[in-house]
Structure 1
Amino acid sequence: MSGKFDVCAEVTQIILDHLEAGVVPWRQPWDAGGAASLPLRVRGEPYRGVNVVLLWQKMVAQGYRSPTWMTYRQAGLLGGQVRKGETSTSVVKMDTYVKPGEADAVTGETGADQARRFMRAYRVFNVAQIDGLDQKFHAEPAPPRSFGTRADPALLAWLARTGIALEVTAEPQAYYSMSRDVIHMPPAETFEDGARHGGVLLHEACHASGHESRLNRLKPGMSQEERALEELYAELGSAMVGARLGIAPEFEQNAAYLDSWVKALRSDSRAVLRAASTAQRASDWLIGRGGLLDDPVLLAS
């Protein structure tokens, strides 16, 4: 479908509805016991960018356990039928068209063609909304990995492969120091469980991806709004990385961050699209350097 509604406004409103209710919409699939999985297209390729947000939030709202989505036509080609009364979910796709070069008024010569990008929307259904599909589409996802109360050696090895420095001291703060280019973490045993430790570590790694030697996103003297958006990038980016690694990140939500995000999104309907794109770049960079986890050793608490 061509998508005649305002894609940016619709995406932003979905996120605002959740944030204003005090909910981060890309976390709940794991709390509900689903797999730490990115939403998947019918052929198994993961969705990217803002589509991850759109589909995760629908999985939260409806309790879908399968990560697989498809169009009405794709369901029919696979022998399935979308159940009567089921509601589709909008996702977006970036397309390109070529604008012919304009002729010079004096010489008559035609300039170079210009490639232009635009967004279009189309609608998909989760396999839980479709009858008649092969059982492989309804397979129960594996439960998320539980780390216990100690740092997982495989996760620490993964971080080391990214080249991002880590220090652990008794200081009860977790943060990324841009000036020293190092992640600081409190001792793992001070976290309630290993999943929280892993989630916070991934959050700070997403911040570190913005260093000038990496994605060059972080700048000294950032405004309050820029800092709020950076937290949104790190929150969403860490969820994306966690999904790739098979980790179920859990964070204690800071209400001040939620309030800042709402204000930032209210002021700019395209903020969510940029946030998702920025988070995707951070996720791609971290996975590109660190790869996936190598046979993690699950440690008991």
Structure 2
Amino acid sequence: MTREHRAARKSGPRTNLYDDITDKIIAELEEGRLPWVQPWGTAAAQAPLAMPRNASTGRQYSGINVLILWGAVIQQGYPTQHWLTFRQALSLGGNVRKGERGTTVVYADRFTPEDEKRRARETGEDANSIPFLKRFTVFNVAQCEGLPDDIAIEAPPPPPGLIEPRVEALIAATGIDFRIGGNRAFYVPALDYVQVPPPQAYFEPINWHRTALHEMGHYAGSGIMPTSQALCCNCRPKSSLRSA
């Protein structure tokens, strides 16, 4: 089905939810994005590979929602696989930031009307249930603010063994606010923290260590020169990051 055909179908009096989901996945494929693959080599791949989960209830999303939410994480570059409805964000003491657009997911189930239950009791036959599909809008935790610390965005944890233990010990010994995530390496003097991309994004582990120690050098330098003059790379390690 071409994009023109899908556009014409959407112009009808009522948009079919099944068609909406199908069109979204086809569009992802046409753009070269596979929502069931974690592309660690791209700037959009900031979240750890995990099942999408509701940050309020802890329940994992299932079925087609997994593909929908994985696709949203890849397309938007969200750093977490955790999601909330608008009301859930409010109930947790936070809120969805103004201007943020949510992602549509679906809830499928079946129900048995009371009349059908009564008919089944009277006739001794099995009751017939009716399938239904409902839309819900959810927001990635990264689109929210004011949430409790235990629900806030988590940095993608690197797999064991990718970081040299002695370097890891050195980072811990400095007491630095060291963050892993995103697609750039930099030191922020005003907020006094270092951030580097995840080790998984590099062709060779040594390049991650070089980048991390380089940025820590700027952190150390900020204690020697005035904060306003502290260096900040604010760079993308183009030569060492994996390509898509």
Say whether the 8 Å CA contact 1:90–1:123 is kept in structure 2: yes
Mapping of residues 124-203 of structure 1, within 5 Å:
124-136=138-150, 137-144=152-159
Say whether the 8 Å CA contact 2:46–2:80 is kept in structure 1: no
Between the two structures, name the one with larger relative contact order (CA 8 Å, sep ≥ 6): 1
Measure, in 1, the Cα distance between the counterparts of 2:143 and 2:128. Answer: 41
Residue in 2 that maps onto 1:289: none
**Which amino acid in the other structure matches residue 139 of structure 1?**
E
Q: 1:49 aligns with which of 63, 88, 92?
A: 63
- Secondary structure of 2:33's partner? coil
Residues matched between the structures, number: 144
**Which amino acid in the other structure matches residue 122 of structure 1?**
F
Deviations 1:89-126 (A, max 9, x none): 1111112221434999xxx9696531222111111000
* Inter-CA distance 145–21: structure 2 relative to 1 (3 Å threshold): farther
5+ residue gaps, structure 1, are: 148-191, 194-252, 254-301
Q: 1:9 aligns with which of 19, 22, 25?
A: 19
Answering whether residue 31 of structure 2 is matched by residue 21 of structure 1, we say yes
| Structure with the greater alpha carbon radius of gyration | 2
5+ residue gaps, structure 2, are: 1-13, 163-202, 205-243
**Which amino acid in the other structure matches residue 18 of structure 2?**
C
TM-score (ref. length: structure 1): 0.42
**Which amino acid in the other structure matches residue 36 of structure 1?**
L
Measure, in 2, the Cα distance between the counterparts of 1:70 and 1:103. Answer: 38
% identical aligned pairs? 35
Mapping of residues 1-301 of structure 1, within 5 Å:
5-28=15-38, 30-31=40-41, 32-42=45-55, 43-99=57-113, 100-101=115-116, 112-136=126-150, 137-144=152-159
Measure, in 2, the Cα distance between the counterparts of 1:124 and 1:103. Answer: 37
Residue in 2 that maps onto 1:196: none
Say whether the 8 Å CA contact 2:89–2:144 is kept in structure 1: yes
User: 1:87 offset after TM fit, Å?
Assistant: 0.4
* Inter-CA distance 84–29: structure 2 relative to 1 (3 Å threshold): farther
- Secondary structure of 2:132's partner? strand
**Which amino acid in the other structure matches residue 66 of structure 2?**
V
**Which amino acid in the other structure matches residue 140 of structure 1?**
A
Measure, in 2, the Cα distance between the counterparts of 1:146 and 1:58. Answer: 29
Q: Between Structure 1 and Structure 2, which shows a larger proportion of helix residues?
A: 1
RMSD over aligned Cα atoms: 3.1
Say whether the 8 Å CA contact 2:79–2:154 is kept in structure 1: no
Runs of 4+ in 1 over 6 A off after TM superposition: none
- Secondary structure of 1:138's partner? coil
TM-score (ref. length: structure 2): 0.51
Measure, in 1, the Cα distance between the counterparts of 2:116 and 2:125. Answer: 5
